[in-house]
Amino acid sequence: MSTQNPVFIPGPTNIPDSIRKACDMPTIDHRSPAFARVFKPAIAGVRRVLKMDAGEVILIPSTGTGGWEAAISNTLSPGDTVLAARFGMFSHRWIDMCQRHRIDVEVIEAPWGEGAPLAAIEKALRADKNHQIKAVLATHNETATGVKSDIAGIRRAMDATGHPAMLFVDGVSSIASMPFDFTAWGVDVAVAGSQKGFMLPAGLAILGVSPKAIAAMDTARLPRTFFDFKDMLAAYGRGGYPYTPAVGLIAGLAHAIDLLESEGLDNVYARHHRMAEGVRRAIAGWGMAPYAKFPDLYSDTVTAVKVPEGCNGTDLVQLAATKYGMAFGVGLGEVAGKVFRIGHLGMLTDAMMLSGLAVAEMCMADLGWPVKLGSGVAAAQDYYRGTVPALAIAAE
Ligand SMILES: *Cc1c(COP(=O)(O)O)cnc(C)c1O
């Protein structure tokens, strides 16, 4: 793997130089006011990125998976029921984690390549007359298949049934890259990680927690210590932390949000859409298709590319790594070998994206796949050259 090449895995993502520098901090005493000066802008920034107008932002030294565990252990008790759809490796893993915590998961099985099934969710909520379901778990962007789900639609389904369950959203591979609206969607816990849309090294779980989820902590009996939001919030009140914070990452997070906001969050989302669309044009140029079943499910942060019959996506990923020093994502679980994944989130430019598509094409030619060199790259080039935002040119 060459460290000069960008990575095209769906996280961790490429780290801009200025973020690396912002993480590089001398040691400070986290019990001194110097820490609050680093910490407060990061918290306020996450609140703006998530679009929260009430509730709390929690930063835990962990990863997205720890964020899931924090979400459930702070709000639920053993034997509680949650509702979750399974349509990929990440939605599966969250279900598995709940089960290991002895939570009763009502699982709606949906085909991989599709998103959260709104009608089935509404039906399950309607059938739950006694309101046993404490939370609905939704994976906003299923990173294994490159499928986004309609979180606003889940909220509408919940409201239509008058069901009081909380809504927990895994936004690890969508937040800061695709539009997210904690307030409008009535989200109770949103989970993100530092190493995807926020372009930081791994090491922070980033959560938004609603007042309703905070109130649920009073009766939630799952054991928690490291992840306890109450300890965290009590320490925040004093401008501090219940244990040693990851100060460098928190400083980097504040800077990452500065970068996102100086570009403009809407422009960041538009850029991700444009990157993704170029990738999809390339895939069509290769005569292939995304694994996501319908265009309205296409993720703007990762695309799982369905490979031709008789080809193995993992071969391409291995060859790209060993021969060209470039990283793509393998297919996971049910789609192992059937797809390879192109991550297109975080800090990426047209030129970077084209380099990834060109290497993927070289690998296809090397492997004898039925693809003509240049076919995908040309389609992406045509799309990118015709869609450069006027602002980007003017700014030079
Ligand atoms: C990456 C990812 C996770 C896991 O996050 P870690 O930071 O690796 O623990 C969870 N959910 C989704 C959708 C992801 O993309």
Token digits of residue 187: 């989200």
- CA 289, CA 344: separation in Å to the nearest integer? 16
Ligand 1 mutation pick, 60, 143, 180, 200, max ligand atoms within 8 A of CB? 143
∠ CA 362-331-112, rounded to 5°: 130
> Which atom of ligand 1 is found nearest the CA of 66?
9
Which of 20-29 are b and which e, b meaning 16 or more Cβ less than 10 Å from the residue's Cβ? Answer: eebbeeeebe
- CA 308, CA 68: separation in Å to the nearest integer? 35
Distance 33 CA to ligand 1 centre (A): 33
- CA 9, CA 304: separation in Å to the nearest integer? 11
Within a 10 A sphere around the Cβ of 273, how many other Cβ atoms?
Answer: 18
Domains of the chain: 17-261 (3.40.640.10), 264-395 (3.90.1150.10)
Range list of β-strands (E), the chain: 7-8, 56-61, 81-86, 104-109, 133-139, 141-142, 147-148, 166-170, 189-193, 204-209, 289-290, 302-306, 327-330, 339-343
Distance 388 CA to ligand 1 centre (A): 31
Asked if 65 contacts 124 with a C-beta cutoff of 8 angstroms, the reply is: no
Cβ–ligand 1 contact at 139 (below 6 Å) = yes
Cβ–ligand 1 contact at 173 (below 6 Å) = yes
- CA 337, CA 358: separation in Å to the nearest integer? 21
Tell me which amino acid residue 387 is.
Answer: T
Ramachandran quadrant class, 239 (left: phi over 0; alpha: psi -120 to 50; beta: rest)? left
Cβ–ligand 1 contact at 208 (below 6 Å) = no
Token digits of residue 316: 């391409």
pTM: 0.97
Token digits of residue 272: 């991700």
pLDDT mean values, one per 10 residues, the chain (396 residues): 91 98 95 93 98 98 98 98 98 98 98 98 98 98 98 98 98 98 98 98 98 98 98 91 96 98 98 98 98 98 98 98 98 97 98 98 98 98 95 60
- Quickly tell me which residue has 């538009």 as its tokens: 270
Cβ–ligand 1 contact at 161 (below 6 Å) = no
Q: Name 284's Cβ contacts closer than 8 Å, sequence gap at least 6.
A: 379
pLDDT of residue 330: 98
DSSP assignment letter at 371? -
- CA 244, CA 242: separation in Å to the nearest integer? 7
Q: Which residues pair with 20 in a beta bridge?
A: none
Largest CA distance in the chain: 62
Tell me which amino acid residue 260 is.
Answer: L
Ligand 1 mutation pick, 90, 169, 206, 249, max ligand atoms within 8 A of CB? 90
- CA 131, CA 176: separation in Å to the nearest integer? 33
pLDDT of residue 240: 87
Residue 375, φ and ψ in degrees, nearest 5: -65, -45
Cβ–ligand 1 contact at 65 (below 6 Å) = yes
Cβ–ligand 1 contact at 63 (below 6 Å) = yes
- Surface-to-core class of residue 95, CB atoms within 10 Å of its CB (0-12 exposed, 13-18 middle, 19+ buried): buried
Give the closest residue (by CA) to ligand 1 atom 3: 64
Q: How many Cα atoms within 13 Å fall on the side-chain side of residue 352?
A: 20
> Which atom of ligand 1 is found nearest the CA of 10?
15
pLDDT of residue 395: 57
DSSP string for residues in 181-212 = -TTTTT-SEEEEETTTTT-PPS-EEEEEE-HH
Cβ–ligand 1 contact at 64 (below 6 Å) = yes
Q: Which residues pair with 135 in a beta bridge?
A: 82, 166
Cβ–ligand 1 contact at 69 (below 6 Å) = no
Cβ–ligand 1 contact at 90 (below 6 Å) = yes
Token digits of residue 282: 């390339």
> Which atom of ligand 1 is found nearest the CA of 302?
15
Bridge-based pairing of strands 147-148 and 141-142 is antiparallel
SS3 136: strand
Token digits of residue 148: 């986004």
pLDDT of residue 238: 87
How far apart are the two ends of the chain, measured CA to CA in Å? 32
Specify the length of the chain in residues: 396
Cβ–ligand 1 contact at 11 (below 6 Å) = yes
Asked if 148 contacts 300 with a C-beta cutoff of 8 angstroms, the reply is: yes
